[in-house]
Structure 1
Amino acid sequence: MLFINTSARRMTAGILLALSAAGPVAAQKVPAFDNSSIDRNIKPCHDFDGFVNNGWKKNNPIPGTESRWGAGGILDKENKEVRLKGIIQSIAGRTGLAKGTEEQQIADYYASFLDTVTIEKRGITPLAKWIGKINNIKTLADWATVVGELQNMGVSTWAGFSVDADMKDSKVNAVYGGQDGLSLGERSYYERTDESTQNVRKEFVGHVNKMFALAGFPEKDPGQTILAFETKLALLQLTNVQLRDPVKTYNKIAFNELRTLAPEFDWGGFTNVQMIRTDTLVLQNKEYITNGAKLLKSTPLATLKTWTKFQLLSTFAGYLPKKFDDENFRFFATVMTGRKMQRPRIDRAIRSTDGVLGMPLGKLFAKQYFPESSKQKVSEMIENVRTVYGERIDQLTWMSPETKLMAHKKLKAFTYKIGYPDNWKDYSSIDIQRGKLVENIINATQFKHDETIKKIGKPVDKSEWLMTPQTVNAYYNPLNNEVVFPAGILQPPFFNPDADDAINYGGIIAVIGHEFTHGFDDQGSQFDADGNLQNWWTEADRKNFDGLAKRYIEYFGKLEALPGFKINGELTIGENIADLGGLTLAYYALKKSFEGKAEPAPIDGFSWQQRFFLGWGQVWHMNITDAALRNQIQTDPHSPAKFRVNGPMPHLAEFQSAWKCSEGDAMTLPPAQRVVIW
């Protein structure tokens, strides 16, 4: 995936148009490349990101409402706060909308989020039913049933279930069981001893105490109670690096075996209320289930109830009165990521509506902003990348003919989706009402849960999209062996019809190449042409690949983003391989496009080779707070933007040639130390 992962198994800015409630206005051209972004005081061979982007960074400080500010975020803001805003507000002004129509759901959800008078008046009464259930828990079995019910509403507990294609039989959906329940998001937040991480834990304790005080809950020192429990839970969990291994996290068992692995926990009560019916399931980690259940058994029931109350409050804090919303923002946005202020309520209403009703909105977005002709253009780009990838496979010196044959088979089987779904789902059964924001969230979440449960044991719907059309992102799904490019990302600076080919190849073609390469990264390479977890490598070739990956892991692991915070090369290896591969594929696809033609002339003094790398660099211009950067390093499989620009360059002879770099320059490595995988 290009930006942020949303599934451990499945994944991996300019302003084009202004929009008012009345409709679109004239498009504004975006420069192919803005020379004012360049800092000519920095040599491209010393710090390419600084050379390409320092001018932009100086002129684009992080807004107080953001923790990071870059090309993707700016385009996302345009898609949501201009384009979607215009669509939503044009619907919100209508009257007499029929119940269950997408327009009624959009209008009434939007209105419910903006109705702060009703939200303040209701307080936390929308949660009273579930608070009462938690208070009435008498046994661990009672607790299992209650947290199972809360799972249907999106409230986390110690373990959770999901439904996805079976990694070893990708045509059929299976149930997966995994770890969950860490409020801070990742195990390292409970283990690291540096001052900044210790401060996060201290602030977390204060945050929990404040939330309980605001709710009028009687528990004493709930923050320390919850931190102590979650620390014990965290130490039982796999790290985010260990979760990257699909072989070790695929443990298929009979469903009844859960009772043998963890007899202390009432699995029947937990799963029955979720309507989970299956004979088998796949566990991430058997030991976690066993040891986690023992931890629950040894934990005072009062602690589990306190923890569950916080999970409930935290899940819905953004939909409760302002005092809860503000405190939730203070900790999770300001302390954790460095954001200084909330977005205006109206912009948050747009984003929340998009989060709940993203696909119905996506239908309207795609119709208005992504013409059918664009699909054909992107399809041609994808096929160009496929052709070049095949040529690159043939040229590999470290791979045998036997494995090359299988790699070609997988490459040929790649499918793709562009822009938006061909068929749209029916969301009419979601009950959305004005004045009932929390209930709207619960109803929408329950709909998604019910939809997911219906998939168990059924054939996989290969046409399903995991992102909405307006999303500024892209992904590769190894279980479908497909690449997906939503309409939202097919805009400047990733793709600009006014740019010359070199800039676009450094942008959108490198993005396409990035997603293709995910099919052959450390995770994707373990899935075959049909999307099954199966080894298709010779032993020697796999050893060669792993050796190259190890070298790239070690290379990134030496890069320090902040004092004491080096990039986790093992966590980011998939995305780093994809960036390196995407750049390589795009470069040679561009070169191939010039065959039989005169070499393009320089533009603004830059050769086509240089413009290609400028195109890549501007895609990743970004300013980021220290808090957000620390969070990214600990939780995100993507390297920070600066290192996505600079990281691959020393390994690309094409870069050194384009910019005439010399031995000893920071962006140059001796040939023997370069990593060339695809």
Structure 2
Amino acid sequence: MKTLWLGAASVAALISLSAPALAADADLAAPRMGTWGFDLAGRDTAVAPSQDFFEYANGAYLKAMVIPEDRSTYGAFNALQELSQQRMHAIAEKAAANTAATGDEAKVGAFYRSFMDQAAVDALGAKPLAGDLAAIKAIGSRDDLAGLMGGTMRKFGGAFFGAYVHDDAKDPETYAVYLFQGGLGLPDRDYYLEERFKDQKAAYEAYVARLLGMVGWDKPADYAKAIVAMETEIAKVSWTRAERRDDDKTYNPFEVDKLAAYAPGFAWRKFLDSAHLAKADRVIVAENTAFPKIAAIYAKTPLDVLKAWSAFQLADQAAPYLSQDFDAAHFEFHGKALSGTPAQQPRWKRAVATIDNNIGEALGKLYVDAYFPADSKAKMEALVGDIHTAMKGRIEKLDWMSPPTKAKALEKLGKFHVKIGYPDKWRDYSGLEVKDGDLYGDVQRAAAFEWDYRAARLGGPVDDDEWGMTPPTINAYYSPTKNEIVFPAAILQPPFFDPDGDPAINYGGIGGVIGHEITHGFDDQGRKSDGDGRLTDWWTAEDAAKFDAQAKKFGAQYSAIEVLTGAHINGDLTMGENIADLGGLLLALDAYHLSLKGQPAPVIDGLTGDQRVFLGWAQVWRAKYRDDRMRQMLVSDPHSPPKYRVQVPIRNIDAFYQAFGVKPGDPMYIAPQDRVRIW
């Protein structure tokens, strides 16, 4: 699944909504951006667009903005995320207070009450872990531990290998089991192997020892040292994130019975059976060359170290749902040490995030009922149609693509599916028990409920109505196997989309996002799937070579950027998102021009239509990062930092030079022959 933003969400700004009931609260209605959709006061007009366009568009806003103490990053995106959190909070508070609530509302209310009852959670201390810790201590062999790891994937706990049920990339109408490398507690293999992360690695070892001590594990410091040493060995043989992006290299089907010979030392069948995947006779292995090496590490590591590792993984994942001492330890490492965040978020924010993560469609249905205007969906459908038309025109006019490949590209585009706002069919949570006063159990049961729901579909037909995000999510995505683009309700607000705003700003905002997601179907990986979502090579060799040459040229522009001392953007890791940003902005411009129907664009506050499209895109990405969070992003996130999602694409667009009079010698200038031309 390709997203506008992964992991730490990027977030936009906001909109005044005319919605029933809860939206009456002034805190829940977002202000518009300026008077016509753009924050003119946020510009730094002392900086010329030809010198630094991002600063010109956002400099005053960024100078005035201070990152909140409970965040590692903040910007326009996060402001919209705050609004979504406030709305979910209002929904959860109302549900929790309604003792007569039934169905989804009752479950949301009970989940919220359990999370917010700090006194009850604190009174339990580490007791909720007792049964799971006892199960780990009772393990007598590595094979039995592999079985336990399969079971922990359904609830809390770690495993040397991950698994999930997903659409089969080469048979997208059926579900398959995917296996992938695991075993690491730090954000990326680089944290174990590179000197620049030595402080974080040391903090991790101290954190492992701290949690093991808190759960009463024997010799916590000794086991922490052994655990980090073992994980360092796993890191050495793990694939990089850039390598893991390759859809061809990560599709490696195996018969389950042959895994034991291919990657000996790990009880594969026990692992899958305990994960309720017993009927799987075939799996798709992602990082295939790493599997035998990680299995060998598992086989040679002393059982007591493996058990201590499992105990730590359990405590680490459960800590946010345990007493304050566990919660504080978890935040001090994950929040402060890794991301540089000074303060923990208030408990209610963590509560609504947990509910959204665990029973998201139950909460999402209540969110849509309260906050999503029906006409937003219709207006979005029209915008998607415009961007689709623009992409069709671009493909037809490509001078580097041969007619056979072009015909296949147009066929794929013609088969795109679109989902806007919310699912047509909501999830049924009637089989899930949510109990007051049992936060640990609530999260475990919700996780197992979700896992078993997906595991039960193995081998069956794919549910094309399913969503991969919940309606309150500030994000969007493209699914290669479904060949679809999806836009949750909460992103359809300013600065992405303002139904009363200037069309040029909307095209630069949500239009750029729509174009971004459509372009994902044709980025360096998305282009490998056809119109039916099947991973297959539909390109001529000559066309593929031309595409790859331009993509490599584009990646080099990003890799040359040193964001912090010694820390560069990884042009290979971020390739797909970078191509999607460039394509999205090009499509937004084309669609805006089409919308004018031959008439001249109006000039607003001295700004032309094209200038406003570029400003609409720039406004979406204004943000600040703490240095530790930025360093983490640069090695683990497939998206480039926000500033460069603006700066680099526009330098490759001819219309930018015309719109702002950029000339040779200007810092933003790239010679025409050096500009990247893909879509």
* Cross-structure match for 2:178: 176
CA deviations 1:386-431 (Å, max 9, x no partner) are 1111111111111011111110000001011000000111011111
**Helix, strand or coil: the match of 2:305?**
helix
In structure 1, C-alpha distance between the alignment counterparts of 2:30 and 2:298, rounded to whole Å: 58
Q: Does 1:54 align with 2:56?
A: no
Cα 1:21/1:585, change in 2 over 3 Å: closer
CA contact (8 A) 2:364 2:470 kept: yes
- 8 Å CA contact 1:243, 1:249 repeated in 2: yes
Cα displacement (A) at 1:22:
5.9
Q: CA deviation at 1:626?
A: 0.3
Alignment-derived partner of residue 16 in structure 1:
16
Tell me how far 1:19 sits from its aligned partner. Answer: 10
Partner of 1:622: 623
Contact (CA 8 Å) 2:477, 2:517: kept in 1 or not?
A: yes
Measured at CA, do residues 605 and 227 of structure 1 come closer, stay the same or move farther in structure 2, by a change above 3 Å?
same
Is 2:374 the partner of 1:372? yes
Correspondence 1:36 to 2:21: no
| Alpha-carbon spacing, 1:400–1:20, altered in 2? closer, same or farther (3 Å) | closer
Question: Secondary structure of 1:378's partner?
Answer: helix
Which residue of structure 1 aligns with residue 517 of structure 2?
Answer: 515
Q: After superposition, what is the alpha-carbon deviation per residue over 1:41-60, rounded to whole angstroms, capped at 9, x for unaligned?
A: 11111111111111111221
Most deviating of 470-479 and 218-227: 218-227
Whether contact under 8 Å (1:567, 1:639) holds in the other structure is: yes
1:401 counterpart residue number: 403
Within 2, Cα distance between the matches of 1:22 and 1:379?
A: 26
Match of 2:94 in 1: 90
SS across alignment from 1:612 = helix
Aligned counterpart for 1:338 among listed residues 337, 340, 351? 340
Distance, in Å, in 1 between the alignment partners of 2:55 and 2:598 is 36
CA contact (8 A) 2:250 2:285 kept: yes
Deviates more, 1:441-450 or 1:83-92: 83-92
Provide structure 1 residue ranges, at least 5 long, that are not aligned to the other structure: 8-12
Q: Go from structure 1 to structure 2 and tell me whether the alpha carbon gap of 1:2 and 1:647 turns closer, same or farther (over 3 Å shift).
A: farther
Cα distance between partner residues in 2 of 1:314 and 1:188: 21
Compute the displacement of 1:537 (Å). Answer: 0.6
Q: Measure how far apart 1:15 and its partner are.
A: 5.3
Q: Distance in 1 between matches of 2:59 and 2:322?
A: 41
C-alpha distance in structure 1 between counterparts of 2:443 and 2:16, whole Å: 32
Q: Distance in 2 between matches of 1:475 and 1:268?
A: 34
Q: Is the 8 A contact 2:111 2:435 kept in 1?
A: yes
Deviation at 1:28, TM superposition (A): 5.7
- The residue number in structure 2 matching 1:149 is 151
Percent identity, aligned pairs only?
39
Instruction: Give the AA of the match of 1:156.
Output: G
Q: What amino acid does structure 2 have at the position aligned with 1:322?
A: Q
- Which residue of structure 1 lines up, in the alignment, with residue 124 of structure 2? 122
State how far apart, in whole Å, the 2-side matches of 1:56 and 1:497 are.
Answer: 23
Offset, 1:668: 1.3
Distance 1:321 1:238 in 2: 36
Does the C-alpha gap of structure 1 residues 248 and 111 become closer, same or farther in structure 2, counting only changes over 3 Å? same
| TM-superposed deviation, 1:25 | 3.8
Given the alignment of the two structures, is residue 274 of structure 1 paired with residue 275 of structure 2, yes or no? yes
Over aligned residue pairs, what C-alpha RMSD do you find? 1.7
Shift of 1:17: 5.5
Deviates more, 1:22-31 or 1:323-332: 22-31
2:483, 2:678 → 1: CA distance?
Answer: 20
Report Cα offsets for 1:64-87 as digits up to 9, x if no partner: 01111011111011011x211111
Cα contact 1:2–1:514 (8 A) shared by 2 = no
Q: Name the aligned partner's letter for residue 229 of structure 2.
A: A
Assess, with a 3 A threshold, how the Cα gap between structure 1 residues 261 and 351 changes in structure 2: closer, same or farther.
same
Q: Deviation digits for residues 492-546 of structure 1, max 9, x if unmatched? A: 0000123211111110101000000000000100001110010111110000000
* One-letter amino acid of the counterpart of residue 41, structure 1: A
2:50 corresponds to which of 38, 45, 51: 45
Contact 2:156 2:314 in 1 (8 A): no
Contact 1:650 1:666 in 2 (8 A): no
Does residue 669 of the first structure (1) align with residue 670 of the second (2)? yes
State the AA in 1 paired with 2:643.
K
Q: Find the counterpart in structure 1 of residue 364 from structure 2.
A: 362
**Structure 1 counterpart of 2:82, one-letter code:** K
Aligned counterpart in structure 1 of residue 194 of structure 2, from 186, 192, 195: 192
Matches of 1:124 and 1:16, distance apart in 2: 45
Structure-2 separation of matches of 1:637 and 1:349:
28
- The answer (yes or no) to whether the contact 2:23–2:370 under 8 Å persists in 1 is no
Q: Structure 2, unaligned stretches of length 5 or more?
A: none
Q: How far is the alpha carbon of 1:207 from its aligned partner?
A: 1.2
2:238 alignment counterpart: 237
Q: In the TM superposition, what is the alpha-carbon distance from 1:285 to its structure 2 partner?
A: 2.7
Q: Which amino acid aligns with 1:24?
A: A
Work out the CA distance in 2 between the residues paired with 1:250 and 1:263.
20
- Between 254-263 and 198-207, the greater mean CA deviation after superposition: 254-263
Look up the match of 2:636. Answer: 635
Report how far residue 217 of structure 1 moved: 2.0
Listed one character per residue, the Cα deviations across residues 138-191 of structure 1 (whole Å, up to 9, x for unaligned) are 211121122222121142211021111111111111111111121112111111
The letter of the residue matching 2:274 is V
Query: Which residue of structure 2 lines up, in the alignment, with residue 264 of structure 1?
Result: 265
Query: 1:217 matched to which residue of 2?
Result: 217
More displaced 10-residue stretch of structure 1: 466-475 or 604-613? 604-613
In structure 2, distance between residues paired with 1:455 and 1:46: 54
Q: Distance in 2 between matches of 1:15 and 1:231?
A: 47
In structure 2, do the counterparts of structure 1 residues 639 and 232 end up closer, same or farther at CA, with 3 Å as the change threshold?
A: same
Partners in 2 of 1:375 and 1:116 — Cα distance? 40
Q: Which residue of 2 aligns with 1:294?
A: 296
Deviation (angstroms), 1:295: 1.0
Q: State the partner residue of 2:314.
A: 312
SS in 1 for 2:454: helix
Please tell me whether residue 75 in structure 1 is matched to residue 80 in structure 2: yes
Q: SS at 1:569's partner residue? A: coil
- Asked if the contact 1:17–1:25 (Cα under 8 Å) also holds between the matched residues in 2, the reply is no
Query: Equivalent residues in 2 for 1:382-393 (5 A)?
Result: 382-393=384-395
TM superposition score normalised by structure 1: 0.96
Please report how far the alpha carbon of residue 23 of structure 1 lies from its aligned counterpart in structure 2 after TM superposition. 5.3
> Any idea what SS the aligned residue of 2:147 has?
helix
288-297 vs 563-572, which moves further: 288-297
Q: How many residues align?
A: 667
Kept in 1, the 8 Å contact 2:142–2:303? The answer is yes
Whether 1:585 and 2:616 are equivalent positions in the alignment is no
Q: 1:22 and 1:604, CA in 2 relative to 1: closer, same or farther beyond 3 A?
A: closer
Q: In structure 2, what residue type is equivalent to 1:485?
A: F
Deviation at 1:21, TM superposition (A): 8.7
Instruction: Report the alpha carbon displacement of residue 261 of structure 1 after superposing the two structures with TM.
Output: 1.4
What is the CA-CA distance between 1:236 and the residue it aligns to?
1.7
Q: Secondary structure at the match of 1:647?
A: helix
Q: Match of 1:125, as an amino acid?
A: K
Tell me the amino acid that sits aligned with residue 64 of structure 2: N
Deviation of 1:268 (Å):
2.5
Greater CA drift, 175-184 or 141-150: 141-150
2:32 aligned with 1:5, yes or no?
A: no
* Secondary structure class of the residue paired with 1:476: strand
* Cα distance, 1:357–1:420 mapped onto 2, change above 3 Å: same
Give the corresponding residue for 1:10: none
Q: In the aligned structure 2, how far is the partner of 1:238 from the partner of 1:596?
A: 51
Please tell me the residue identity of whatever aligns with 1:607. T
Task: State how 1:395-544 maps to structure 2 within 5 Å.
Answer: 395-544=397-546
Contact 1:2 1:511 survives alignment (8 Å): no
C-alpha separation in 2, matches of 1:540 and 1:329? 51
- Which deviates more from structure 2 when the two are superposed, residues 206-215 or residues 236-245? 206-215
Distance 2:597 2:392 in 1: 17
Query: Matched residues in 2 for 1:523 and 1:575: separation?
Result: 10
Cα distance in 1 for residues equivalent to 2:490 and 2:156 = 26
8 Å Cα contact 1:29-1:498 kept in structure 2: no
TM-score (norm: length of structure 2): 0.96
Equivalents in 2 of 1:285, 1:39: separation in Å? 46
